[in-house]
Amino acid sequence: MAKAICKSIQSKGLIDYSQIYVSSPYPKNLDSWKTLGANVSTDNAVVAKEADIIFLAVKPHILKGAIEEIWHSPLATHVKDKLFVSILAGITTTDLEELLSKFIGSRVIRVMTNTSIQVGEGCTVYCPGTTVTETDLELVQKILEVTGMCQCIPEHMINAVGAVSASGPAFVYLFIEALSDGGVRMGLHREMATRFVAQTVMGAAKMVLETRKHMGTLKDEVCSAGGQTIAGIHALERGAVRGSVMDAIEAAALKAAELGKQGKSKNE
């Protein structure tokens, strides 16, 4: 996800890779960043010292270790007045502020985005911590809005949004693959079927956003009496597609909450 964010804002001209600092304990993970021209290090404290905005993009259960590494570094005295932007699932702004309280002037913004930011069609939400400034919020909004839709929301909504928008692309890809499989089964070549399906899904999504009509209304406009579309809808309803999708969103949201609790317990 860190790569997706950087690629998106770099492609929009907001930043050059020479201004990006990246750390990982595994040198091999840094090779692609080095090729792009980013500054790389196996020491998190180097990034924390050099960067004005620090994106936290680690697994929740190793967050505390990463922060402790910075704190115990000789460079820790330089880590002050920093804006930390977290893309960690389940870790609340309260948790983050507690972990980062050792660093003077630290501020926290929690972000949830998706991989579609790579093509400028992302869906990103963010929640401010208690000490962020209007300048911080304006800066993060400016950075993220070039990647697609971007909106500030109450934090209690973020796991639900994450299930819909962060996990959602995987569910949509599964649906696109299934539609493509159906096309192949009925005689289309795979490349043709996939291209037609992807365009169809993109067009349908644009209809929802631009017409602002209810999905049921848009669906009814496609379904003629006794026609092929209503026959297909009937087959989907027999397969409980709506219930299955709702179950998927619920499972993803609950998992995000679980990851947050696991991360907090391991960080304590």
| Eight-state DSSP code of residue 108 | E
- Domain assignment present for 118: yes
User: Tell me, what's the pLDDT at 46?
Assistant: 95
User: How many domains would you assign to the chain?
Assistant: 2
User: Tell me, what's the pLDDT at 267?
Assistant: 57
pLDDT in tens, 176-192: 999 999 999 999 999 99
Do 128 and 247 lie in a common domain? no
- Domain assignment present for 181: yes
Do 111 and 184 lie in a common domain? no
Distances (CA, A) of 232 to 222, 227, 235, 241: 11, 9, 5, 12
Residue 55: domain span? 2-153
24 belongs to an annotated ligand binding site: yes
Distance of alpha carbon 180 from alpha carbon 175, whole angstroms: 8
Alpha-helix runs per DSSP H in the chain: 2-11, 27-36, 44-50, 63-71, 93-99, 134-145, 158-161, 168-185, 190-211, 215-222, 228-238, 241-267
Nearest to 165 by CA among 127, 121, 130, 221: 121
- Domain assignment present for 52: yes
Do 140 and 53 lie in a common domain? yes
44 belongs to an annotated ligand binding site: yes
- Domain assignment present for 159: no
User: Tell me, what's the pLDDT at 7?
Assistant: 87
- Domain assignment present for 81: yes
pLDDT in tens, 223-267: 999 999 999 999 999 999 999 999 999 999 999 888 877 766 665
pLDDT in tens, 49-106: 999 999 999 988 889 999 999 999 999 999 999 999 999 988 999 999 999 999 999 9
CATH code at position 19: 3.40.50.720
Do 209 and 234 lie in a common domain? yes
User: Tell me, what's the pLDDT at 60?
Assistant: 86
- Domain assignment present for 158: no
pLDDT in tens, 5-45: 888 889 888 899 999 999 998 899 899 999 999 999 999 99
